[in-house]
Amino acid sequence: MVLSFFNGSYYCFQDKCGLFFWRSHGHDALWHMAVASISFTKFPFIMPTFSGAELIGYNYLLDILLLLLQRINISFLFAYFKLIPTVWFIIFTFLLMKLARKIESKKVFVSLLLFFMYFTGSFSYFFTLSKDRTIWGSSGLLFYFNETMILNLQFGLSLIPLTVILITILKKSYDRKNIFIISLMTFIIFGLKFYGGVVALLLLIPYLIIGAINKKKNVVIFGITLLLSSLLAIFLFYNPVNSLKNNSIFIFSPFTSVHHITENPNLFFMKKLTNYRYAQMTRMINIKLLLIEGFNLIIFLFFYLGVRFFGVIYLIVKLIKKKATNFDMSIVVALFGSIAITTLFIQKGEWTNIYQFFYYSVFLSTFYLAELANKLILSKKLIIKSLLIVFVLLAIPTTIDLFRTSFQFPGLTYLPQGELEALLVLKKQQPGIVFSPLYNKDVGQNMTLPKPLYAWGDTAYVSAFSGKQHYLSDIWMEQITGVNYQVRLDLVNKNNCRFLQDIDYIYYNNDFKIARSLFDCPNKLQFLWGNRTSTIYRVIK
């Protein structure tokens, strides 16, 4: 929660004053701000960063919530960085405690689950320790689950209905009340995260099958209701008919997502193994290649899961010893199913987004780490009890580094005061399409932190703060949602006068101006407003 609290607030650092942002909030939060401010002004909903395009293949339930909060005069920045994280933390913690008590009556199990859920990191610090003899910088090497719950607010929120589902299936009741609760929670998860919706279905399929085997009442009604709620959510939030026009979103590419762990020199680099794997890939599938890929996967899971890896081992042992409950079987399918999807597919547009399935594996594995830790602490042997201390010590180094970097002032990026003033002026103008120069990574290369947003990354900040739909920005989101932006990108890169016909305003930071040739186009540019930081032109048509 505290990882987001300082974002979006006004600070000054040396001669830089404005709204400061840490880590990926400079991109993700401003995308949500743009969607909440612009997308719902028309129906079908519109893409905030690409004029003329519909918002499809995107989970916008969080953005509707943010819009509703704005309607009752709760500002986006307060809601996104302070209100929602606080409410999320309270509700999620309460539900975790409730679920923990249902899994294990011992109070210590509740404490263990909360500790490992909020403070367990990956084993990425092994890499920094071996190379630099420090844990500093380790939290940025591999994705960090605890941080992701806040940085990826939709993911964090999706864990609430998922936890409600876990609590409900533990009741082992198929009555209509529980059917309604589970179906509603699944609908909400799909609205927040498609990946989470798939994991919820993986979790519920064994529950349905077990109910059918035991001839439970209402199982058929349950299955139909769950199917209908899932389909409704998919069609409402993702518009699959349009989303799939450009082929499948997911591409079958086995083990691509795990290769980096042994290919990257900064990670568990194994040059000989990598070269040997590439040699084997030129031949037909063989046992040697499968063994190498299996080894890669185990190494991937070990370092990404951290001590949670031992929780997964504990779960496997429960299965082998036939001590797994029906609840465990549901989690087994969801946990290993999401690992399988992550391993076998990549995602079109931004292939690394496939890891978002794996986020849920990390979440589910935490319960078994807590179970294992609970077994250790209840042991009568001192040496077994001491293993818990080892687990705790292994769990926290990455978390320590995360807290260090998250509280480092001044953060990565900021919106200068002068730009904020200019964008608020633009917001008061008549509705229209705005254009600002495309992000150029070379512009901010020699700048010190915090960098102004235009020089830090390709973001939706102009749309977010002006409330105006952009002609072309945040291309990464265009790639993810499947928008065909290449023709428009070529026009802009060539400073072709044609694109001026499709815009109403031009906005830029005075340190990153538009091309001088655009002033010689048939569509003339009329100065509208400016200050020392920014300039706004109106396009005369």
Structure confidence by residue, pLDDT tens digits, 417-465 = 999 999 999 999 999 999 999 999 999 999 999 999 999 999 999 999 9
In order of 252, 257, 521, the CA distances from 282 in angstroms are 18, 19, 54
Question: 346 and 253 in contact (C-beta within 8 Å)?
Answer: yes
Residues 235-261 have a mean pLDDT of 84
pLDDT tier at 244 (50, 70, 90 boundaries)?
Answer: low
Q: What is the pLDDT of residues 81-133, one digit of tens each?
A: 999 999 999 999 999 999 999 999 888 999 999 999 999 999 999 999 999 99
324: confidence class by pLDDT, cuts 50, 70, 90: very high
pLDDT in tens, 21-37: 998 999 999 999 999 99
Give the whole-angstrom CA distance, residue 31 versus residue 24.
Answer: 11
Give the chain's mean pLDDT: 94
Q: Are strands 469-470 and 433-435 parallel, antiparallel or unpaired?
A: parallel
If one compares 217 and 518, the residue with the highest pLDDT of the two is 518
pLDDT at 27: 96
pTM for this prediction: 0.94
Q: pLDDT of 347-368, one tens digit each?
A: 987 788 999 999 999 999 999 9
Least Cα distance to 244 among 235, 254, 252 occurs for 235
Judge whether 493 and 67 are in contact, CB under 8 Å.
Answer: no
Segment 492-530, tens digit of pLDDT: 999 999 999 999 999 999 999 999 999 999 999 999 999
Which H or E run includes 37?
helix 25-38
Q: What is the pLDDT of residue 537?
A: 98
Q: Is the confidence at residue 243, as pLDDT, over 70? A: no
Cα–Cα–Cα angle for 185, 369, 333, nearest 5°?
Answer: 50
Could you read off the pLDDT of 32-53 as tens digits, one per residue? 999 999 999 999 999 999 999 9
C-alpha to C-alpha distances, 34 to 29, 221, 424, 433, nearest whole angstrom? 9, 40, 14, 13
Residue 23 has a pLDDT of 87
Average pLDDT over residues 322-338: 97
- Write down the H helix ranges in 250-396: 260-263, 271-281, 287-305, 308-320, 326-344, 355-378, 382-395
